[in-house]
Chains A and B, each alone.
Chain A
Amino acid sequence: MWAQQVLLAVIGLSAGVAVAGGLFSFIVELGVIADFADRTHTADQILFYEDCTALGGILGNLVYVFQIGIPAGDWGLAVFGIFGGIFVGCWAMALAEILNVFPVFMRRARIVRYISVFVISLALGKGFGACVHLFQGW
């Protein structure tokens, strides 16, 4: 009985460390947060942003795994939704950027102008797609 619990503990611990390492290096190495800090000219706060990311990961995991109820109401959900949405949007674009999606397509299609139009239509398309997906309940 004890041996089993110890084995489970070892599995759980290593799973947690591996997942944390993978997910957070994915976030950091894509440069999303460095981007935020640079855009807002608040690079001096970068350590604070790291703390926020770490705290968000730790608390978010606790809330999910232990199914802790948070009585924040609709407004709390709205706050979570808007900030979570901004983050995921930037994240998705950072991923596309790091994979050189845009330069490759622009070069192949020989597009040199109106790049901002493509960026805007990309953003609208993402937003529209998310709306359809969520409202259809897929």
Chain B
Amino acid sequence: MASDSKILYIKGDRDVEVTKPDVTLGDLLSMECTDKLMLAKIKTLRIVKFKKSGRQRCVVSVLKIISCIHEKFPGADVQNLGEADIIVTYEDQKTPALAWHIIKTVFVAAVTFFGAAFSIMAFNNDVDVTKLFGQMHELVTGQDAGRFTILEITYSVGITAGILIFFNHFGRKRFTVDPTPMEIQMRLYENDIQTTLIEDAERKGEEIDVGTTGTSGSNRT
């Protein structure tokens, strides 16, 4: 074959979502090779075939991808620059109704709002800030405090400032260019999920690897 000893660079993401049941290498990877013809052919090689319906997911080892390439191009020198395992999620392109999305968003918003309100009240109640403010007021001024003092006002200002500084934004307005703590947490959580999926598949032997023959995705649980 003319394309012998060409170096093919492949790079895949850890988590890929596809909408067609036939998954080709071009869907999973970005590739680079000096032989453009070979590149175009490799991109159309099929690696996984899902059953038609529902949401399914499988984990593909990059070794399987390389062996798939070697089947057609035995001489290709494949260099993997990306992940070693790729999670492929197949979903029928049915976007859920907007109304449902809004309902869920409103629900989570209500939980976070009331939950945060409850937490701060529970904290204030736990340490009895009202009494503590009275004691501090007496310590500093020597007089019994009235109902509300400057302490309550500045404490509330401080809470507000602290929360906004911590979250690093309010509404669309960001105070610095850093991602907010919640965005970081979200990414960490996604990472954990991906690691779990890959290791689960490996341990159960469901991963599509060079040793296995199965090419149908397992049902998503």
Interface residues of A (CB under 8 A from B): 1, 4-5, 7-21, 23-25, 27-29, 31-38, 40-43, 45-66, 79-80, 83-84, 86-88, 90-91
Contact = CB atoms under 8 A, between A and B. Distances in A.
A94 to B, nearest CB: 11
Interface in B139-184: 140-141, 148-167, 169-172, 180-183
Interface residue tally on B, bucketed by range: 35 or more
Contact of B105 (A12, A42, A56, A79): A42
A5 to B, nearest CB: 5
Given A15-B155, A20-B159, A53-B116, A8 B111 contact: no
A88 B183 CA distance: 21
Given A11-B136, A15-B155, A86-B115, A23 B120 contact: yes
B150 A5 contact: yes
A52 B113 CA distance: 5
Contacts of A53: 112-113, 115-116, 163, 167
B115 A64 contact: no
Interface string B96-107: 100001001101
A9 B133 CA distance: 11
Interface in B81-127: 96, 101, 104-105, 107-121, 123-125
B112 A8 contact: no
Interface stretch (B10-18, B56-64, B185-193): B185-193
Contacts of A46: 180, 182-183, 186
A16 B170 contact: no
A80 B114 contact: yes
B137 A8 contact: yes
Contacts of B165: 17, 21
Contact of B162 (A17, A50, A55, A83): A17
20 contacts: A12-B133, A16-B155, A16-B159, A16-B161, A20-B160, A27-B116, A28-B166, A29-B185, A33-B112, A34-B185, A35-B189, A40-B108, A45-B108, A45-B109, A46-B186, A59-B117, A79-B110, A83-B110, A87-B115, A87-B116
Contacts of B155: 12-13, 15-16, 19, 61, 65
Contacts of B129: 65
Q: Which among A46, A51, A61 has the highest number of chain B CB atoms within 10 Å?
A: A61
A60 B160 CA distance: 11
Ranked 3 nearest A-B pairs via Cβ: A16-B158, A87-B115, A20-B162
Contacts of A9: 150-151, 154
Contact of A16 (B104, B137, B141, B154): B154
B120 A28 contact: no
B54 to A, nearest CB: 16
Contacts of A27: 116, 119
A13 B152 CA distance: 9
B114 A49 contact: no
Contacts of A50: 167, 169, 180, 182
Contacts of B160: 16, 20, 58
